[in-house]
Homo-oligomer: A and B are copies of this chain.
């Protein structure tokens, strides 16, 4: 925590001390705060839940610009459109900040089973992978279930394409294979590597995402098969046959390109230099149209502030909306923002990058903040059964977290469904329920307003 954050915390603490110094009991204090913010809550909730513009804007962003991979023209066009929407919403200080972003491109790609029979395989390169030679790579496949299984079979890896067909448990586990699979396989001599797509529910959607290389280990092409086709290859191996596949990828990393973080503000009435920064990320993967991930976060946080402005609710502190760029494959926007604004007084950093489902939890850090905000649960319960709990995470707010800024994020009750769509062709607006989207926006508008106004 730096001095600025310490200062904000001192202020929050002073508020509490003042209440107690007037010999108010905790219960009295809670009642006072709830009485104060209850009319604001009603206003925000009633207005937001009847609003139809949020889903319309999200769908337009997805439909008109399509996918928004860093370095693409469609991303920059979407950001420029979003800038106009911020201006139309009446936000102040709306502007773009230059960010040089990675420019990885997919190109043509395919994967096919050659032996024991010929089959098209549904395949997608993972973001950042190198290409194959022009003639592709044709090689036998070795299916492994885990890194441990790979280790056991390390003498059988040379010259093979390793397929990690792990039993899916959760995204965190799956990401290990997506991010590190090529490195682990290449260590033992694999010439390419594949993973089962990182999803509990394949439905023939290949899921992409970021991957990494280790400079001390040869770089090999790395991609994902659908759940269906990974299972097919494993069944063939289990029958005692050796599957042979041909893999062709043109994916490449071109020179960095200019893109932008987008910023707009609702200036605070009493402490405009105290900044509550909220946002989502403007970029998506180059499949689907990034409706959940993360047009919802960009549009949702913008709409939350637009609604506060339309209701004439200007809190004491400034609420700044940021559409960070390049969350998916580089975090360049996050680091650029943190650097450009390092001398400002951030009193909170909030990112919404968890998809649109019924809001269930507001997660906050540090832990002391949980107790301070928990008293507002009765107001949030007017929207849904929402708890204030420990946590608070977003990739784009990692740099601010590291600088000691308190964090907040929204969790939703997705029953695992977010990962059905995540980084796949099926992340499209039809997967978003407009009413649930409004409930999330109302939640954010309310808790952020209270936080910025305390």
> Nearest chain-B residue to A430 (Cβ)?
B231
Residues of B within 8 A of A64 (CB): 116-117
A203/B66 in contact, CB under 8 A: no
A425/B117 in contact, CB under 8 A: no
A228/B430 in contact, CB under 8 A: yes
Contact of A203 among B63, B231, B420 (CB under 8 A): B420
Contact of A430 among B227, B239, B420, B425 (CB under 8 A): B227
A301: CB under 8 A from chain B? Answer: no
Residues of B within 8 A of A236 (CB): 63
A403: CB under 8 A from chain B? Answer: no
Beyond the given A66-B119, A204-B428, could you list 18 further A-B residue pairs with CB under 8 A, ordered by the A residue number? A59-B235, A63-B236, A64-B116, A64-B117, A66-B117, A203-B203, A203-B204, A203-B205, A203-B420, A204-B204, A204-B424, A228-B425, A228-B426, A228-B428, A231-B428, A231-B429, A232-B428, A232-B429
Tell me how far the C-beta of A408 lies from the nearest C-beta in chain B, rounded to whole angstroms. Answer: 32
B420/A232 in contact, CB under 8 A: no
> Nearest chain-B residue to A59 (Cβ)?
B235
- Number of this chain's copies in the assembly equals 2
A333: CB under 8 A from chain B? Answer: no
The CB with the most chain B CB atoms within 10 A, among A64, A119, A227, A235, is that of A235
> 10 nearest interchain CB pairs?
A203-B203, A231-B430, A204-B426, A204-B425, A228-B428, A203-B426, A228-B430, A59-B235, A204-B205, A63-B232
Tell me how far the C-beta of A89 lies from the nearest C-beta in chain B, rounded to whole angstroms. Answer: 19
A235–B203 alpha-carbon span in the complex (Å) = 24
List chain A positions with a Cβ less than 8 A from chain B. 59-60, 63-64, 66, 116-117, 119, 122, 201-205, 227-228, 231-232, 235-236, 239, 288, 420, 424-426, 428-430
> Nearest chain-B residue to A55 (Cβ)?
B235
Residues of B within 8 A of A122 (CB): 425
Residues of B within 8 A of A201 (CB): 203
A235–B201 alpha-carbon span in the complex (Å) = 27
A424–B59 alpha-carbon span in the complex (Å) = 26
Tell me how far the C-beta of A61 lies from the nearest C-beta in chain B, rounded to whole angstroms. Answer: 12
Residues of B within 8 A of A420 (CB): 203
A-B contact pairs, 21 of them (CB 8 A): A59-B235, A60-B239, A63-B117, A63-B235, A63-B236, A64-B116, A64-B117, A203-B203, A203-B204, A203-B426, A204-B204, A204-B288, A204-B426, A204-B428, A227-B430, A228-B426, A228-B428, A231-B430, A232-B428, A232-B429, A235-B429
Residues of B within 8 A of A239 (CB): 60
Residues of B within 8 A of A117 (CB): 63-64, 66
Residues of B within 8 A of A60 (CB): 239
A117–B61 alpha-carbon span in the complex (Å) = 12
A63–B428 alpha-carbon span in the complex (Å) = 31
Tell me how far the C-beta of A240 lies from the nearest C-beta in chain B, rounded to whole angstroms. Answer: 12
Tell me how far the C-beta of A311 lies from the nearest C-beta in chain B, rounded to whole angstroms. Answer: 27
Tell me how far the C-beta of A229 lies from the nearest C-beta in chain B, rounded to whole angstroms. Answer: 8
A60–B235 alpha-carbon span in the complex (Å) = 9
Residues of B within 8 A of A204 (CB): 203-205, 288, 424-426, 428
Residues of B within 8 A of A63 (CB): 117, 232, 235-236
B66/A430 in contact, CB under 8 A: no
A203–B201 alpha-carbon span in the complex (Å) = 10
Residues of B within 8 A of A430 (CB): 202, 227-228, 231-232
Residues of B within 8 A of A235 (CB): 59, 63, 429
Tell me how far the C-beta of A431 lies from the nearest C-beta in chain B, rounded to whole angstroms. Answer: 8
A295–B424 alpha-carbon span in the complex (Å) = 28
> Nearest chain-B residue to A122 (Cβ)?
B425
A295–B397 alpha-carbon span in the complex (Å) = 50
> Nearest chain-B residue to A291 (Cβ)?
B228
Residues of B within 8 A of A119 (CB): 66
> Nearest chain-B residue to A203 (Cβ)?
B203
A424–B202 alpha-carbon span in the complex (Å) = 13
